[in-house]
Structure 1
Amino acid sequence: MTRRRQPALLLVAVLAVSACSTVPSSGPVERVNPPVQAPLEGGVDVHPVPPQRDASPDAVLAGYLDAMASLEPGFTVARQYLTPAAARRWDPSTGVTVFDGDTRSSLPGSTKAGIQARVVGSLDAQGHYRAETGRILRQDFTMEQVAGQWRISNPPSGLLVSHYTLLHRFTPTPVWFFVPGSSTLVPERVWLARNPAGPAEAVRALLAGPSEWMAPAVDTAVPNGTRLAEPGVTVIDGIATIPLEGRLGSLPDPRRTQLLAQLGWTLRAFPELRGLRVVVDSRQWGTQSHGLSAPVMLEDLPGLPPVPIDANEQPFAVVDGAVGRLDEQGSFSPLGGVLGTRGWGGRAGSLAVSSSSSVIAVVNQEGTQLHSTRLGRDELALRLVAKKVENPVVTSSGTVWASTGGDAASALWRSSDGATRLKRVAIPELSGSTLVAFAVSPEQTRLAVVLRRGQQTSLGLLRIRAGTVDGLRILPLQQGQIRLEEVKDVGWTGAEQLMVLASQGDDSPTSAYLVGSDGSHVEDVGPAGELDLVQLDTRPQDDGAVALLRSAEGQVLRYQSAWRWQSLPGRVSWLAVPS
C-alpha cells in the first residue's frame, strides 16, 4: 500500500454495483469479504444436451461448448459431439482456457465452424488460475459426417470455458502450505471443476502440490507420490476419513503434524466437517499428539493462520506533522511522547505501524529519512537516508520495508528486525519501472507492487523467499466492462485478495476495486463521487479486513460494504492501519 504431480489427473478426478451508493457518517463497520461470485444456487447440476439429429455445424459447435461448460463428470455428452477417433483422443484434463466476449462463425454449406474470443486466463491441470491479456483465441472446428451427422474431428487441448463459467460453475477452494521454517500457513486458491466440489477434490488438489510459481516460496509436508486411495474421502458424523497411499510410514512426527495441519486447514472449506482421520495401509496414521488415538478436530488444528484474529485496532494518522490515533468517530488523539508532540526533531510525513510487534516507522515530511522505534518509547533510530523515501511498511513480524526514488531509479529496502539499517533488495525484474506502491501479504511470502513504465501503470506480484524477491507476475486488471488503466495504490484484504485504488481512464473517478490475488476477478466497490483519492490502507483479519481511503484534501473514508463508505470527520495527511 502507498506507504508502505499427479497433476494431469486432477481435472479428470475433479471434473467438475450498484448504480447508487451512500457515504454514511455513522453506522457499524463491516468487513471486506472476498467477492468470489456465488455458485449456481445449491450447486445445481447443469445437464448437457446430446447432439440433435441433423444439427448444422454451428449448432454442433454450440452444443459442444455448452457440454464442456456443464463440467459433466467424464464429459460423456461432450464426446458425443466428436468423431469416434476424436472422442478417444480428446483429454479434457490437460487444462482450461478461459475466454470472454466470444463470437462464432460458420458459412452455409461449410464443413467448419469457428469461435473467436479474448482469452482472459487459463487453468493448469491442478486448477491454478493464471490471468492473461492480449491473446485472442481463434479456433476453427472441422466437421466430418458420422452416420450422416456432423461431428467435430479436431477438438481443442483441454477445455474452453467462458469467464462466467469459471466464476459460477467451478469451485474456488484454498489448499494450504507452510511458510518455510515457520508454523504459519499459506493458502493457494485452486479452481475445482465441479460445483459444489467435495472434500476428495480438495484433498487431491493439496496432494498435487503448489503451483509452479508459488512452489519456491512455500513448503509442503506431502511426500512426492502421495495419492488419495480408494474409496476416496468418506464422511461420517462430520469426521472425514482420508485413505492415503505413498511413502508416509517413515515420515517423522514434525512432518506428520504439518501434513495433518495442511489437510485439516484445507478441509475447513467444508462447513459440514468437524474433524479428520488419516488412514495408511488400513491403519490410523498420525502422531501420539495428533491423529493416532482420536480424530484431529478442525477447531484444534496445529499451525498458524496467515491473518490475525479479529481485533478492533484504531488506525494511526498524521495531522500537522504529529502522529496519533483515530477513534471510531474519526477523532484524532496525538500519541504521548515525541511522535505526538513533534519533539523528535522532525515532523512526520508518512508512517507504518505494527501493533503485534510494537514497531512504528516514520518518514519525515521532507521524505529524506526513515526512523523507527517501539510504540511507547521516545528513542527513534535512523534506518534509511535517501533523496526520496516513500511507502514505509511494517509487517506483523516487525520487518520494516520502504522504497526510494527521486532522481535515482526506484529501489526497495528492507530490515528484517526493525532495529537495524535497511538494506537494498535487488529485484532485477523491476529495472526500468518506477515502484509506485507496494504491500506485503499477511504471511509475508508475496509482494504486491504497483509499477509505472512510461505512462502505463500495472499491478504485479513477486515472491518473497529467504533473502530473495523475484518471480514478477503481472495481473491484468480487465474484466467485462472494467478496464483499469491508472493504478495508484494497493493493499491486502485477505491472503488471497487485494484491494487497489485505480481509475478506468483520465476522465473516470478513482475508486476501490477488489482483485483476486490470482487475477481471477475484479470488482468495483466504490465509493461514488468525485473525490481525489490518493491513499489506501488495509488490514486483513480472520473475518475480512479493515480498509480506509484518504483523499488529497485529507478526508478519510472507511469501508462498510460494496459501494457503502463511512466518511470520518477531520482531515489527516497520512493513514496507517496497524498490521
Structure 2
Amino acid sequence: MTRSPRRTPAALLALVLAALLAGCSTVPTESAAIRITQVAQPSDDDVRLEPLAPEAGAAPEEVVRGFIDASASAVRNHPVARQYLAADAATNWSDSDGVTVISQDYAPVQSQPGTVVVTGTLVGTVDERGVFIVGTGSVYTRTFTLSDESGEWRITDPPEGLLLLEPDFARTYEQVDAYFLDPTGTRVVPDPRYLVSGEAQPNTLVTRLLEGASPLLAAGVVNPLSGAQLRSTVSVTDTTATVDLSFPADVSDATLAAASAQLTWSLSQLDVNTVRVLRDGQGLDLPDVPDAQSTADWVALDPDVAPIGAVGHYLTGGGLRLASDGGTPPGPAGAGVYGLVAAAVTVDARTSQLGFMAGVSSIVSPAGDPATLLAGTYGGDLTPALSGASFTDPTVAGTRSEVWTVRNGTDVVRLPSGGPAQSVSATTLAGLGRATQFQLSPDGVRAAVVLQGAQGGQVYVGTVVRDDDAVSVRDLRSIAPTVEQVVDVAWRNAGLLMLLAGDPSTERTVPYTVGVDGWELSTNTTSGLPGQPTAVAAAPGRQPLVSANGTMWTLAGGNWVTLVRGQEPLPGTAPFYPM
C-alpha cells in the first residue's frame, strides 16, 4: 500500500491560498457578531497604585481633575472614578465606550459655578475593539456640569467611555498586534490593538482575532479564524495558552493550520511560549503540527523576515552600489549606463537571490519624457517599461515579484515581473496632494505615501486591496498629522515607519519613527551626520541607511557612521533594501 506523503506546516500553508482566496464555504466572509463589553478587559487585581477618592470640600476643578485621574484605574468598572459622579450618573456611566486620549498639559477651568471646561490637545481615540486612531493635534474641549450633592460637588454628565491623559494611557494600556494573513498566505500582518495590562489579555486578544481585522485593514487581509467561536475562556498555564474553539463543520486542514499559526504568532507577544489549539475540546491532529505550537513551527509566516540576500544598495553617478562596502554589482546597472536616480529589487525568499529589478532613469525618453521606468533582471539588461514626467522611487514587497511607483505624482502603477504595467486605483490620492514618495510595507498589505500639501509633505498610510485582477489603495489616512515637511519614508518593519521630516524646534530635517497607526511618534538621533538627511532606507532586521550631504551613512550603536568603519564617507544617494 502506498502511504500519503507527510505534510509539513509550510506545505499546509501552501494550501491556504487556494482554500481562503477561492471563497470556499470553509471560510465564511463574515464572522458571528461578538459583543465587546470593555475596551480591553480590566483586571480584577487591585494590587496596583490606585487613584484617590474625592476629598471633602473639593472645588469643581479638583473634582473633574480627580475623575480624569481615577479613569486611569485598571480595576473593573472604575469604582473610584464613579465616586466623583452624581448618584444617577455613577449608575448609568458607561466606561466601555472607547477611550479619548488628551495631552498631559490639559487645563480644567470653571467658567461659571458648576461648569468646568477641560481644554487640552487631542492625542487620539481608541474604539471598543482597541483600535487607535491618531488625533489631529487639534484642541480638545469638553464641558463638565456639576451639582452640589449634600455639600459636595459631583459630575452629572461624564463622557461616554474613558478620558485619559497620554502618560496614563501609555501606563495602563499595552500595544499588542492581532495578526491576520496577507493575501498570499505567506506572512502574518500586524493589526495594532491596545489592551489593558493584566491576566485578561490573552482572552481579549483572541476575541479581537475572532471579531476580525480593524475596519481600515480588513479588506486587505485574510482571517482564517472567521466563523470560529470561543467555547471557553483562554487559559494560560505556565507559558502555554490553550484556546478551545468551535469551527464550521467543513473547515479544511489548511484553514485550521493557518488559524493555528495566526493564534500562535498573536499570543506569543503575551509571555506565551506555546499555544494549544483545540476544536470542540479535542486536539486538531494536523499532520506534522505539534499539539503545543510555537512561532518556530510557523517561522515561514514571520512578519519581519529578512532574507540573507537583502543587502542594502544605493546609487552614485547613475550607477548601482552595494551598501556593504561600496562595491559595484555586476551588470550594466552597476556600470551606470542607465543614469539611474532610484531603484528597487525583489528577493526570492527561498533562495535569497536578487531577482526582478526596476529603476528610474533620468535620460530623456525617445518620446521626450524626462523620466523612464526601466525593468529587467538584477545584473542583466533593463528595458523601458513606462515613461513620464516623474516617478517616485520604485518599491517592492516581500510577498510578490512586482514593482510599484507613482507616475506624474498621481497615477499609481504596478509592474509585475514579466508582465505589462497596470494601473492601481487610488481614488482619494489626487485630492490629498501630489505623491513624492510611495513605499509598500514588507508584507505588501499597506502603502506609506508622502503627499505634498499646503503645509509641505505629510505621510499617509493606505491599505492595498486585491480583488481578482483589480488592485487598489484605499483608506489613506494621516498617521503623523503634527509632522510636516516630510521628505522621505521607509518601513523599519511591518508595523513601524521611519520618516525624514522637519523638526520645528531645530528647523532641520531629522529622522522620526512612528507606529503604523500613528502611536508613539518620536525623533531619532542625527549624531554623526554631516548635514540634514535627504533620503532613507530601512527593512526588517537591517540598520537604516540615509543619504546626507550627498554621502551614505548607516545607523550603528545609536550613531550614524560611514558604511565602512574607519573610512571616509562614500558618495551616494537614493538608498534602498531589496525585499
Letter in 1 for 2:465: R
Deviation at 1:506, TM superposition (A): 10
Q: Is the 8 A contact 1:410 1:434 kept in 2?
A: yes
**1:83 has 2:86 as partner:** yes
Letter in 1 for 2:237: I
Q: Is the 8 A contact 2:331 2:381 kept in 1?
A: no
Residue 276 of structure 1: aligned partner:
275
Deviation at 1:151, TM superposition (A): 1.9
Q: Give the distance between the partners of 2:421 and 2:165, measured in 1 at CA.
A: 46
Q: Give the distance between the partners of 1:458 and 1:450, measured in 2 at CA.
A: 5
Q: Is the 8 A contact 1:10 1:205 kept in 2?
A: no
Residue 220 of structure 1: aligned partner:
223
Residue 328 of structure 2: aligned partner:
334
Q: Is the 8 A contact 1:509 1:531 kept in 2?
A: no
Letter in 2 for 1:260: S
**1:117 has 2:120 as partner:** yes
With over 3 angstroms needed to count, the CA separation of the structure-2 counterparts of 1:395 and 1:138, relative to structure 1, is: closer
Residue 5 of structure 2: aligned partner:
none
SS at match of 2:36: helix
The 4+ residue runs of structure 1 with deviation greater than 6 A are none
Q: Give the distance between the partners of 1:572 and 1:85, measured in 2 at CA.
A: 68
Residue 557 of structure 1: aligned partner:
553
Deviation at 1:72, TM superposition (A): 2.1
With over 3 angstroms needed to count, the CA separation of the structure-2 counterparts of 1:445 and 1:68, relative to structure 1, is: same
Q: Is the 8 A contact 1:276 1:298 kept in 2?
A: no
With over 3 angstroms needed to count, the CA separation of the structure-2 counterparts of 1:384 and 1:197, relative to structure 1, is: farther
SS at match of 1:566: strand
Residue 393 of structure 2: aligned partner:
391
Residue 435 of structure 1: aligned partner:
435
After TM superposition, the structure 1 = structure 2 runs for residues 146-545 of structure 1, keeping only pairs within 5 Å, are: 146-194=149-197, 198-224=201-227, 226-227=229-230, 229=232, 232-244=233-245, 246-271=246-271, 273-281=272-280, 283-289=281-287, 294-301=291-298, 304-309=301-306, 311=308, 313-327=310-324, 331-342=325-336, 346-356=338-348, 358-366=355-363, 368-376=371-379, 378-396=380-398, 397-405=400-408, 410-415=410-415, 417-432=416-431, 433-466=433-466, 467-478=471-482, 484-505=483-504, 508-528=507-527, 531-541=531-541, 545=542
**1:68 has 2:62 as partner:** no
Deviation at 1:400, TM superposition (A): 0.8
> TM-score, normalising length from structure 2?
0.84
Residue 148 of structure 2: aligned partner:
145
Deviation at 1:320, TM superposition (A): 2.1
With over 3 angstroms needed to count, the CA separation of the structure-2 counterparts of 1:573 and 1:112, relative to structure 1, is: closer
> TM-score, normalising length from structure 1?
0.84
Q: Give the distance between the partners of 2:526 and 2:47, measured in 1 at CA.
A: 34
Residue 39 of structure 1: aligned partner:
none
Deviation at 1:492, TM superposition (A): 0.4
After TM superposition, the structure 1 = structure 2 runs for residues 6-17 of structure 1, keeping only pairs within 5 Å, are: 6=34, 8-11=36-39, 13-14=41-42
Q: Give the distance between the partners of 2:101 and 2:537, measured in 1 at CA.
A: 32
Deviation at 1:286, TM superposition (A): 2.1
Deviation at 1:187, TM superposition (A): 1.0
Letter in 2 for 1:360: M
Q: Give the distance between the partners of 2:312 and 2:518, measured in 1 at CA.
A: 29
List alignment gaps of at least 5 residues for structure 1.
17-42, 479-483
With over 3 angstroms needed to count, the CA separation of the structure-2 counterparts of 1:6 and 1:84, relative to structure 1, is: farther
List alignment gaps of at least 5 residues for structure 2.
1-32, 349-353, 364-369, 564-568
Deviation at 1:399, TM superposition (A): 1.1
Q: Give the distance between the partners of 2:208 and 2:79, measured in 1 at CA.
A: 23
Deviation at 1:106, TM superposition (A): 2.1
Q: Give the distance between the partners of 1:334 and 1:440, measured in 2 at CA.
A: 26
Residue 29 of structure 2: aligned partner:
none
Deviates more, 1:447-456 or 1:355-364: 355-364
Q: Give the distance between the partners of 1:225 and 1:54, measured in 2 at CA.
A: 53
Q: Give the distance between the partners of 2:247 and 2:84, measured in 1 at CA.
A: 42
Residue 562 of structure 2: aligned partner:
567
Letter in 2 for 1:180: P
Residue 27 of structure 1: aligned partner:
none
Deviation at 1:447, TM superposition (A): 0.5
Letter in 1 for 2:388: A
SS at match of 2:478: strand
Letter in 1 for 2:464: I
